[in-house]
Structure 1
Amino acid sequence: MAEIKIHAESRTEFGKGAARRIRRADRVPAVLYGHGTDPVHISLPGHDLMMALKNSNALLSIDIGGDNHLAIPKQVQRDPIKGFIEHADLLIVRSGEKVVVDIPVIVTGEVISGSLVVTEMNDVSVEAEATHLPESVEVSVEGLDAGAQIFASDLVLPSGSELQVDPEQLIVHVIAERTEEQVEAELAEAEEEAGIEHEEPELVDEEPAAEGDGSAE
């Protein structure tokens, strides 16, 4: 993965007020740490950081006044509503160093008609060289039928990557698509267990037809 260069500025003000001022200037407060060094508090251009972190394991080259550090994102805090980045923790790494990161599982292909794919893990942990981190791992379900299972040990990882989860961890499995009758039966069973009772609609007796007054025409 190519390095993404971002120019940073040192910051000396801390606290919520300072963070708000930084964000109003379209920048993101961040901390750079690792390798036994003291944490370095910086701010980064918001748009540049957002674009760089479209890949969660982006390799960043942080330039602080001409002093460059290679780093990867370790924790990114986002606004729960608007989604913009509020704060970032960046881990300093070195070429040749191995680190553990989470990479997304990408499911590809189509299962046999009448089957559904259930993804048990959306990402897996792998160990890889810091400057050659994989972006994702693909899992093909092409032509699989109900009952098929794919475990962590079945994953084909990029060269240089090692699995860091239990090899027997279930990643994806294929199940039979439920019929409408099965869904209704499961719903009825769940309602019964929860003690939900449906009241029977009341039957309304029809009013008897009015009798004539017997008058002759």
Structure 2
Amino acid sequence: MPEVKLAAETRTEFGKGAARRIRRASKVPGVLYGHGADPVHVTLPGHELLLALRTSNVLIALDLDGKSELAIPKAVQRDPLKGFLEHVDLLLVKRGEKVSVEIPVHTEGELAPGGYLLEHVLDALPVEAEATHIPESVTVSIAGLAAGDSILAKDIKLPGGVALGVEDDAVVIQVLAAQAEEAAPESEDGEETAEV
């Protein structure tokens, strides 16, 4: 996974007013924590951070006050209506260190004919991986699956050095039979009655 370089600034102002001023300047307030160190409050460039967060579990190389730090996003708060970034929590990591993250699960292929429904029990798969080698996602084949079939966590092929963070028998994807819609009750003259 490529690293995204971002310049960060330490911030000393806190509270809603300070956060609003930071966002008006097209920046995002954040907190950098991990490795037993005290949390560091930072300001990050808004547009560059937004682009970086399009990749799940992106590895961010921060230039913070002349020091270089590696971090991954742990929590991202967005405005519920406009979608812009409001705050981000970053976890400090080191090369070679194992981290627990969730990676998206994608499917490929077609279900068996018959109008089945595909349910993602887990949209993201918890795994343990080296911080600099976190897979962007995993792809699972659903070709030919029918009602009652399921894919368990142990059935998913993971890249080398990546271990499951859930039980082997955890259901990730299952196939359900489509439910037939109930017919509307008919009146005595044979016409369907509309529900009020």
Q: Distance in 2 between matches of 1:177 and 1:72?
A: 40
Q: Deviations over 1:180-211 (max 9, x none)?
A: xx3116x88xxxxxxxxx899xxxxxxxxxxx
Q: How far apart are the structure 2 equivalents of 1:108 and 1:130?
A: 27
RMSD over equivalenced CA pairs, Å = 1.8
Quote the residue 1:137 is aligned against. Answer: 138
Cα distance, 1:68 vs structure 2: 0.7
Which residue of structure 2 aligns with residue 109 of structure 1?
109
| Cα displacement (A) at 1:135 | 0.9
Identity across the alignment (%)? 56
Structure holding more strand per residue = 2
Residues 168-183 of structure 1: matches in 2 within 5 Å? 168-178=169-179, 182-183=180-181
Deviations 1:49-89 (A, max 9, x none): 00001112000001013211000011111111111110011
The CA distance in 2 between the partners of 1:105 and 1:44, in whole Å, is 29
Which structure has more relative contact order (CA 8 Å, sep 6+)? It is 2
In 1, the alpha carbon distance for the partners of 2:67 and 2:154 equals: 42
Give how far 1:176 is off.
2.7
Counterpart of 2:182? 184
Structure richer in helix, relative to its length: 1
Unpaired runs of 5+ residues, structure 1, are 189-197, 201-217
- The residue number in structure 2 matching 1:13 is 13
Moved over 6 A (4+): none
Matched with 1:151 is 152
User: Normalising by the residue count of structure 2, what TM-score does the alignment of the two structures yield?
Assistant: 0.90
Cα distance, 1:199–1:155 mapped onto 2, change above 3 Å: closer
